[in-house]
Amino acid sequence: RLLYHLEKEEQMPDGMCIDAEGKLWVACIDGGRVIRIDPETGKRIQTVRLPTPRITSCCFGGKDYSEMYVTSAYDGLDETTLAKEPHAGEIFKITGLGVKGIPQNFYAA
């Protein structure tokens, strides 16, 4: 089923994760943001803008999973674009979101 229709400025979805409240976080590649979606209502409930557009993935970490780590890409960008986007390819740590993530599942081989 369709969960959420991205707005034009959100561009395209990429990496995702779930928080402890069951909400979906989506990295918006070429949208410069991570959005939080309520899967029950299909509404965007939070937006975190980042200083570069090519946002590729997000996950929770830290001692209590209260930090979000967000990756970005620089591949495929020419020198002119890279000069305008000096943060492309960096990893960002976001704190103060007011929510926590959940531990990953480990599977035995």
Domains along the chain with CATH numbers: 8-95 (2.40.10)
Measured distance CA(39)–CA(52) in Å, rounded: 26
**Residue 3: its pLDDT value, please?**
87
Which positions ≥6 away from 6 have C-beta within 8 Å? 12, 13, 28, 31
Contact between 101 and 17 (Cβ < 8 Å):
yes
Known binding-site residue numbers for a divalent metal cation: 14
| Buried/exposed 54-78: b ≥16 CB within 10 Å, e otherwise | bbbbbbbeeeebbbbbbbbbeeebe
63: its two tokens: 């001692």
**pTM for the whole structure:** 0.90
**pLDDT tens track, the chain, 109 positions:** 888 999 999 999 999 999 999 999 999 999 999 999 999 999 999 999 999 999 999 999 999 999 999 999 988 888 888 888 999 999 999 999 999 999 888 887 7
What's the helix, strand, coil split of the chain in %, to 5? 10, 40, 50
Active-site hit among 14, 19, 38, 78: 14
Residue 43 and residue 6 in contact, taking contact as beta carbons nearer than 8 Å: no
Is 14 designated active site?
yes
Interatomic CA distance for residues 24 and 21, integer angstroms: 9
